[in-house]
Chain A
Amino acid sequence: MTARTVCLLLLAPLLATGCSSDEAEPPPGDTQKGRAAIREYGCGSCHVIPGISGADGHTGPSLERIAKRVYLAGVLPNTPDDMARWIREPETVDPRTAMPNMGVSESDARDITAYLYTLK
């Protein structure tokens, strides 16, 4: 029973509970399919997207921690519905945006949203 053990024992609860935070329901959608869809549509040619190899584009903003972002594209409150809407038809949200409409299907948009919401 050295001082170090005592110290570690006392610190253990600190480390264990250090990063708890209340989690919201994850949005519906399949994160694995979402990841595949992101590759298929080539979102990574314009965005840095963690967890997607080769996604290192700099045309649009990095999608790191996008789940925590307050606004999407600086104009929409960041909710799963609005995210799916943005991915499907960005031009209806902000006519001036440089993000193109890529004809993403409703269900793909759900899955992509589910994946993007894992990025916190």
Chain B
Amino acid sequence: MNNQDRQDSVQKIRKRIEIHVGIAIAALVVAMGVGAAGFVYWGAYNVSALQQHTEPVFTILNLALDRSIRQRAEEVEPPPLTPEMAEQGRLIYQNKCVQCHGAPGVGRDDVGKGMTPVPPNLAHTAKTKNADEIFWPIKHGIKMTGMPSWQFTFTDEQIWNLTAFIMRLPELSPAEYQELVANDSVEESTDRNDVSASAPARDTALPDPERGKMAMYGYACIACHRIPGTVGPHSDVGPPLKGIGERRYIAGVLANNPENMVRWLRHPTEVDPLTAMPDLDVTEQDARDMAAYLETLR
């Protein structure tokens, strides 16, 4: 009897403790939620590019970045990288990468200075990474860092050329690099600027709407349009593209059919010289893929 009583009271106390712990945990969760909401709402986080993360946060972010790239790069098969490829890659690099990453003996331009995260010196990268881990970020870009994706600018072949050049960087002295650059300003000054102007059209394949949707990001269409199925800044510079698939006219001047859409996407200022939509050097294949995606928007 006495024993039974004791057990009962022990159980009661236990239950009360459990309830209290439960309430405490719930209160903590709510407080954290409110705290997080307040942190966001009152703008406590300093987004200045000159306010670096704390060392532990920086280390964790970098680890996550490295792991993410390594994981995805495993599926990439590098071809043999030759000196000829590196030479081709250098021409592209000088045009499109030096401003952020610099080159042996050459400082980065203003864009590459004030950024956080800072664009790494790629000679250092080449010493610590494999070719596939260099290829992947060039092709896909790195979200939230300022590193663009180049797959809508360059073919895979050109990206391997860039990779070949970057792998060579650690053995290239500033003097040697200067020599290479000095040599081509004589012979190649004419076509230097075309290096990326027309990424050779990919094999004309059937239009692929999914790829077209990715191209909406790759060509920064989302900086001006609201496009269903994409996430972006909700910009109203151009018309929203909802329902564009069943629109009678494109930009109010062209009958809406796949050929005309490709024409508009590639050369809007030729179609309508007054238009605020700029020519974006869209390749034929990319335009077809995008047109295929836009056609699905009803």
Q: CB of B106 within 8 A of chain A?
A: no
A60 touches B243 (CB 8 A): no
CB neighbours of A96 from chain B (8 A): 252-253, 272
In the bound complex, how far is the Cα of B239 from the Cα of A75, in angstroms?
Answer: 12
In the bound complex, how far is the Cα of B252 from the Cα of A62, in angstroms?
Answer: 12
What number of A residues sit within 8 Å (CB to CB) of B? 27
Closest to A90 in B: B252
Closest to B23 in A: A3
B292 to chain A, nearest CB (A): 19
Q: CB of B48 within 8 A of chain A?
A: no
CB neighbours of B243 from chain A (8 A): 48, 58, 62
B33 touches A7 (CB 8 A): yes
In the bound complex, how far is the Cα of B272 from the Cα of A75, in angstroms?
Answer: 9
What number of B residues sit within 8 Å (CB to CB) of A? 28
Of the stretches B96-104, B140-148, B177-185, B273-281, the one at the interface is B273-281
Closest to A4 in B: B30
Known contacts A10-B38, A14-B41: A94-B274 contact under CB 8 Å: yes
B34 touches A74 (CB 8 A): no
Q: CB of B248 within 8 A of chain A?
A: yes
Q: CB of B197 within 8 A of chain A?
A: no
Closest to A68 in B: B236
CB neighbours of B246 from chain A (8 A): 58
> Which one of A4, A60, A61, A68 has the highest number of Cβ atoms from chain B below 10 Å of its Cβ?
A61
In the bound complex, how far is the Cα of B5 from the Cα of A91, in angstroms?
Answer: 95
Known contacts A10-B38, A11-B37: A59-B249 contact under CB 8 Å: yes
In the bound complex, how far is the Cα of B274 from the Cα of A73, in angstroms?
Answer: 10
Q: CB of B63 within 8 A of chain A?
A: no
CB contact between B277 and one of A59, A61, A74, A97 (< 8 Å): that residue:
A74
Q: CB of A52 within 8 A of chain B?
A: no
Q: CB of B238 within 8 A of chain A?
A: yes
CB contact between A61 and one of B27, B33, B247, B253 (< 8 Å): that residue:
B247
In the bound complex, how far is the Cα of B236 from the Cα of A83, in angstroms?
Answer: 16
A and B contact pairs by CB, cutoff 8 A, 5 listed: A14-B37, A58-B247, A70-B276, A73-B252, A75-B274
Which positions in B face A, CB cutoff 8 Å? Answer: 23, 26-27, 30, 33-34, 37-38, 41, 236-240, 242-243, 246-249, 251-253, 272, 274-277
**Seed contacts A61-B247, A64-B240, A75-B272; 13 additional CB < 8 Å A-B pairs:** A3-B23, A3-B26, A10-B37, A58-B247, A58-B248, A60-B249, A62-B240, A65-B236, A69-B236, A70-B238, A75-B274, A97-B253, A99-B252
Which positions in A face B, CB cutoff 8 Å? Answer: 3-4, 6-7, 10-11, 14, 48, 58-62, 64-65, 68-71, 73-75, 94, 96-99
5 nearest interchain CB pairs? A61-B239, A59-B248, A75-B274, A70-B237, A68-B236
